[in-house]
């Protein structure tokens, strides 16, 4: 408590400071803070705290202030029994509609440290505290799901926690029988079957596909003996499958020489996102997913290949049933591959060509965009990714027609709710009001699985920024470039660890969490020569992922007009290079298109050194427009006519050059990009316009922003909210 002695000491110190001409010490602020704290504690509980305060005032010595340190020297307080505290009801958070947003302030005010704390009203919890679990305990169902999905890459020993591979499992006394049977089932599936069913001994336990046929070494053509490959075996636990203990055999090695084209036309991630938006925006449309089982194994080869397996690696059940000891040559058993198999370079092309012929007979054809398929007259179109179909249909009978066509030749699985596709979880909202239809994309448990596999602990406090932010030297006329990284280089194991994390997060970032892309591009540019600072950057990124493990992207119904926001960060990367960023999305034909989730996000370091901010902005416009051209063509093929696509930039000079409102003298490299943009704009492919930088959604991916900036964008919709936030527009 503040005593009269404390007030006298404070007055003497202030008078001394004034006489000496020095600034007032921090004591006044400290005393004011103590008084505020005292009033707050007294108002916390009207009953119990009042009695304790009176008793403490009678026995408490004066509190002395140390001039050299802001700490308060407290005397020992006697122990006493306190009555139960009666907490007041928490006040609801004040509405923030009438308050000015943080983005309305200058950048210096938004990034500067603010130490003023008011005790009159409790501070609102940051977003990290509201979106992250505050307890250390995890629900058992969540742990089961995480561990089960994680073990799709390997198998965990329940006793030691170690991850066991194929050979370790077969040597382990506890797991040997289970995985010997699983491996025998896989070889039987590739060959002519294995075992017999208990309920019907005349039927094999596992039906074969006749892909592998055992052969003697002498029967292999001499010109093929140098091309014999080996196998790679992967064990996985998949509780969602009929046989949870799965073993898969793939053909490995680089000896196969196939003279034909092995490239396969398949759909990309951007095409999948365009199709999701099309389902939402087309009235009466819905989505369904089909998956072909044994897609490669049902495709005959135009020329057989050969593979060998060590006899000692083959389960005894297979050796006995196929009498393999008669086929051994130098300890190896040889097989002839007569159908497509995983790992063969030509398998994908042969299976895709055969599927194309079969679908063409029923009126289905592939558009110019790889992976986009349509029907000659039915209101149905789909994306084909290897053997997975994401189908948009209007009328269930048309989707059933496609399913029946596939069932003629393959065994398929059907998901009429379309809850998951290419590893992405889809949460559909087919609202009665068309404008309220939406879909949220996420990858549940993916981050938890990755952190579990890496052994990365949860951060002690929430990490609200995915990367280290670039500190601004306020008051300095010249901003210096960052120092060179002179930290200790990592060894080969450390470099591989960095590359593994970047690879694991890259698809996740491109698919559902584009907020990671800026950090991933910066780390990716250093991963070949990674250092200790690179390791710290990776750990900071993992801490951010642990803070927000279930981020996603949300799409809404729109007019399917392709729009873009382009921005550039000039000279903000090492080597005086600049960064390009873009937010490409689908919206309406408004002058300033409304927010929607990104179909494509650009977050890259531009290769060439640019001489000015206007040139960097023009280069970013060029990169964004090039990506949008192919997306426009795809949307046209999907049946969505595209007027001139709005393309926003916050640099008036770049916009003026492109729209010919400024006459310029520039370098040839700049002139090349500029004339390309002018040509496309003249063809009514783009409408390039200017708007304020705070309204440019591409800015998020061009700079290393501070945590407060990430928090503000998360509240505005960058974390997969409804996307209709009016806060973005003035």
pLDDT in tens, 389-407: 999 999 999 999 999 999 9
**pLDDT 10s digits, 592-601:** 999 999 999 9
- Asked if residue 412 and residue 285 are part of one domain, the reply reads yes
CB burial readout 581-620, b (16+ within 10 A) else e: bbbbbbbeeeeebbbbbbbbbbbbbbeeebebbbbbbbbb
In a domain? residue 196: yes
User: Which pLDDT band, with edges at 50, 70 and 90, does 663 fall under?
Assistant: confident
**pLDDT 10s digits, 575-591:** 888 999 999 999 998 99
Res 244: pLDDT: 82
Res 109: pLDDT: 45
User: Which pLDDT band, with edges at 50, 70 and 90, does 15 fall under?
Assistant: low
- Asked if residue 605 and residue 535 are part of one domain, the reply reads no
- Asked if residue 541 and residue 564 are part of one domain, the reply reads no
- Asked if residue 640 and residue 700 are part of one domain, the reply reads yes
In a domain? residue 124: no
In a domain? residue 536: yes
Residue where one domain finishes, among candidates 547, 569, 589:
547
pLDDT reading at 124 higher than 50: no
Residue with tokens 């999701």, as numbered in its chain: 276
Provide φ and ψ at 534, rounded to 5°: -65, -40
In a domain? residue 123: no
pLDDT reading at 137 higher than 90: no
Tokens of 318: 């297979």
Residue with tokens 């066509």, as numbered in its chain: 405
Q: How distant, in Å, are the alpha carbons of 7, 31, 547 from that of 65?
A: 11, 9, 39
**pLDDT 10s digits, 196-205:** 888 888 888 9
Domain, as residue range, for 11:
4-73
Mean pLDDT of 123-143: 39
Which DSSP symbol is given to 13? H
Which residue in 185, 397, 189, 420 sits closest to 291, CA to CA? 420
Q: What percent of the chain has pLDDT over 70?
A: 73
DSSP reduced 3-state for 351: helix
Tokens of 301: 């080869």
Residue where one domain finishes, among candidates 547, 570, 594:
547
pLDDT reading at 307 higher than 90: yes
- Asked if residue 565 and residue 538 are part of one domain, the reply reads no
- Asked if residue 604 and residue 520 are part of one domain, the reply reads no
Dist. CA 295–CA 350, nearest whole Å: 10
Residue where one domain finishes, among candidates 527, 547, 567:
547
CB burial readout 169-185, b (16+ within 10 A) else e: bbeeeebeeebbbbbbb
- Asked if residue 451 and residue 369 are part of one domain, the reply reads no
Res 235: pLDDT: 86
**pLDDT 10s digits, 199-227:** 888 888 999 999 999 999 999 999 999 88
In a domain? residue 116: no
- Minimum mean pLDDT among 74-83, 353-362, 415-424, 532-541: which range? 74-83
**pLDDT 10s digits, 435-483:** 999 999 999 999 998 998 888 999 999 999 998 887 767 776 666 666 7
- Asked if residue 492 and residue 584 are part of one domain, the reply reads no
- Asked if residue 287 and residue 310 are part of one domain, the reply reads yes
In a domain? residue 684: yes
- Asked if residue 573 and residue 625 are part of one domain, the reply reads yes
Res 27: pLDDT: 52
Residue with tokens 């929607």, as numbered in its chain: 596
Which residue in 86, 66, 77 sits closest to 26, CA to CA? 66
- Asked if residue 173 and residue 291 are part of one domain, the reply reads yes
Provide φ and ψ at 550, rounded to 5°: -130, 45
CATH number at residue 673: 3.30.420.10
Tokens of 284: 């009466």
DSSP string, 580-649: EEEEEEEE-S-SSPPP--EEEEEEEE-SS--SSHHHHHHHHHHHHHHHHHHHHHHHHHTT----PEEEEE
Between 61 and 615, the higher pLDDT residue: 615
Provide φ and ψ at 484, rounded to 5°: -70, 150
Run of H or E residues at 409: none
Q: Which residues pair with 424 in a beta bridge?
A: 421
In a domain? residue 352: yes
- Asked if residue 207 and residue 164 are part of one domain, the reply reads yes
Mean pLDDT of 88-113: 42
Q: How many domains does the chain have?
A: 4
In a domain? residue 494: yes
């Amino acid at each position: 408590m503040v005593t009269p002695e404390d007030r006298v000491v404070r007055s003497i110190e202030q008078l001394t400071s004034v006489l000496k001409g020095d600034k007032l010490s921090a004591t006044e602020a400290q005393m004011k803070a103590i008084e505020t704290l005292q009033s707050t504690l007294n108002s916390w509980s009207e009953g119990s705290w009042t009695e304790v305060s009176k008793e403490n005032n009678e026995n408490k010595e004066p509190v002395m202030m140390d001039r050299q340190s802001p700490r308060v020297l407290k005397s020992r307080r006697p122990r006493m029994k306190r009555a139960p505290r009666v907490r007041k009801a928490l006040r609801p958070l004040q509405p923030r509609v009438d308050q000015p947003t943080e983005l309305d302030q200058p950048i210096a005010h938004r990034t500067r440290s603010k130490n003023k704390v008011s005790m009159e009203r409790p501070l609102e919890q940051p977003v990290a505290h509201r979106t992250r679990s505050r307890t250390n305990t995890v629900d058992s169902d969540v742990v089961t799901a995480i561990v089960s999905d994680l073990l799709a890459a390997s198998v965990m020993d329940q006793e030691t926690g170690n991850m066991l591979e194929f050979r370790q499992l077969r040597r382990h006394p506890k797991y040997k029988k289970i995985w010997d049977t699983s491996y025998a089932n896989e070889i039987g599936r590739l060959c002519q079957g294995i075992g017999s069913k208990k309920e019907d001994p005349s039927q094999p336990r596992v039906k074969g596909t006749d892909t592998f046929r055992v052969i003697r070494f002498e029967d292999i053509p001499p010109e093929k003996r140098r091309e014999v490959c080996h196998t790679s075996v992967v064990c996985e636990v998949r509780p969602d499958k009929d046989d949870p203990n799965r073993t898969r055999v793939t053909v490995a090695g680089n000896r196969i020489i196939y003279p034909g084209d092995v490239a396969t036309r398949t759909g990309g991630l951007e095409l999948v996102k365009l199709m999701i938006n099309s389902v939402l925006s087309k009235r009466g449309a819905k989505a369904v997913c089909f998956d072909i089982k044994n897609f490669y194994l049902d495709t005959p080869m135009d020329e057989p290949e050969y593979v060998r397996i060590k006899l000692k690696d083959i389960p005894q059940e297979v050796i006995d049933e196929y009498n393999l000891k008669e086929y051994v040559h130098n300890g190896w058993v040889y097989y002839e591959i007569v159908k497509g198999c995983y790992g063969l370079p030509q398998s994908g092309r042969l299976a895709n060509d055969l599927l194309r012929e079969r679908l063409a007979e029923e009126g289905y054809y592939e558009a110019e965009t790889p992976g986009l398929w349509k029907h000659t007259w039915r209101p149905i179109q789909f994306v084909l990714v290897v053997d997975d179909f994401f189908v948009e249909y209007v009328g269930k009978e048309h989707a059933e027609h496609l399913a029946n066509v596939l069932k003629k030749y393959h065994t398929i699985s059907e998901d009429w709710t379309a809850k998951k596709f290419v590893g992405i979880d889809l949460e559909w909202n087919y609202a009665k009001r068309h404008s309220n239809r939406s879909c949220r994309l996420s990858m549940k448990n993916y981050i938890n699985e990755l952190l579990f596999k890496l052994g990365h602990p949860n951060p002690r406090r929430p990490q609200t920024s995915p990367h280290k932010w670039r500190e601004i030297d306020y008051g300095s006329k010249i901003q210096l470039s960052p120092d060179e990284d002179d930290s200790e280089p990592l060894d080969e194991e450390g470099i591989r660890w960095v590359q593994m994390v970047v690879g694991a997060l890259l698809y996740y970032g491109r698919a559902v969490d584009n907020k990671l892309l800026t950090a991933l591009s910066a780390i990716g540019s250093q991963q070949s020569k990674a250092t200790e600072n690179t390791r710290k950057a990776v750990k900071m990124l993992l801490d951010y992922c642990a803070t927000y493990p279930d981020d996603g992207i949300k799409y809404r119904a729109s007019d399917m007009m392709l729009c873009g926001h382009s921005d550039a960060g000039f000279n903000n990367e090492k080597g005086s290079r600049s960064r390009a960023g873009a937010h490409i999305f689908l919206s309406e034909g408004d002058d300033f298109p409304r927010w929607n989730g990104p179909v494509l996000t650009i977050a890259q370091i531009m290769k060439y050194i640019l001489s000015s901010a206007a040139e960097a902005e023009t280069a970013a416009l060029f990169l964004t427009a090039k990506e949008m051209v192919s997306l426009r063509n795809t949307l046209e093929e999907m049946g969505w006519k595209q007027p001139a696509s709005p393309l926003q930039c916050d640099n008036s000079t770049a916009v003026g050059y492109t729209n010919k409102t400024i006459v310029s003298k520039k370098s040839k490299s700049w002139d090349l990009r500029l004339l390309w943009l002018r040509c496309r704009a003249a063809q009514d492919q783009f409408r390039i316009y200017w708007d304020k930088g705070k309204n440019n959604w591409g800015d998020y991916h061009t700079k290393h922003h501070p945590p407060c900036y990430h928090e503000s964008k998360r509240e505005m919709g960058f974390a997969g909210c409804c996307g209709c936030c009016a806060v973005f527009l003035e």
